[in-house]
Amino acid sequence: MQPLRWQVAVVAAAGLALALETLPTVLRWLWVRRRQRPRREVLFFPSQVTCTEALLRSPGATPSGCPCSLPHGESSLSRLLSALLAARVSLELCLFAFSSPQLGRAVQLLHQRGVRVRVVTDCDYMALNGSQIGLLRKAGIQVRHDQDLGYMHHKFAIVDRRVLITGSLNWTTQAIQNNRENVLIVEDEEYVRLFLEEFERIWEEFDPTRFSFFPQKERAR
């Protein structure tokens, strides 16, 4: 029996070596496959009102299901929240109006997790009743706003410099629950680069040290 055992051992070792050799190829193939199918999603609103507690639970909170009477399935809002909450490193937000409590909680959660959050918004809407901007600032998140006559009317987010979220949706409960809206979630290098460039342009321009208050009066001088 000894020679047979020896042969089995040789065959097993050869098989193992072959598996180890092909492992990187297989892993690369899987990675390339994942790369070849970048994230692409289109969300339409109004969104069904669903419970989003499971998504927005702070780490350490009790993991039991929420007992509320809302449906607990997926909705356009829950998919938007998931796309945002995937952030691990950075989140750039460029939003005309931001008053949705759920989206506000998501952004604060990311900030607590150490994600670098930067927000650009419009000065005319940031102080309205129900705006999330004050809460975000209170939580220590950097926010900059325009001082222009025109609106900062973008509604986009960039997650981890990899995924662009953009569309017609202002981040308000009115828009989420009542309006016809669309949001694209797209993992695309070129789009992300162009929108990041736009974000950085606006971020620099809205640097408060550059503000010249009463610009019309300045010009009239």
Distance in Å, CB of 133 to a copy of itself, minimum: 17
Contact status: 182 vs a copy of itself (CB under 8 A): yes
Give the footprint of a copy of itself on residues 98-117 (CB under 8 A).
Answer: none
The distance of Cα 22 from the centroid of its chain, to the nearest Å, equals: 36
**How many CB atoms are closer than 10 A to CB 215?**
12
Question: Closest CB to a copy of itself among 26 and 207?
Answer: 207
Catalytic annotation present for 155: yes
Q: 197: which DSSP letter? A: H
Contact status: 195 vs a copy of itself (CB under 8 A): yes
Catalytic annotation present for 188: no
In the chain the first and final C-alpha atoms are separated, in Å, by: 104
Question: Closest CB to a copy of itself among 56 and 93?
Answer: 93
Cα–Cα distance, 151 to 185 (Å, whole number): 23
Contact status: 22 vs a copy of itself (CB under 8 A): no
Of residues 68, 72, 113, the one with CA closest to residue 90: 113
Q: What is the torsion angle, in degrees rounded to the nearest 10, for the CA atoms of residue 61, residue 93, residue 51 and residue 57?
A: 0
The distance of Cα 162 from the centroid of its chain, to the nearest Å, equals: 10
- Give the range of 24-32, 57-65, 105-113, 144-152 binding a copy of itself by CB under 8 A: 144-152
Interface contacts to a copy of itself, rule CB under 8 A: 40, 42, 44, 46, 94, 96, 146, 148-156, 166-169, 174-175, 177-182, 184, 190-191, 194-195, 198, 202
Q: Which residues are catalytic?
A: 153, 155, 160
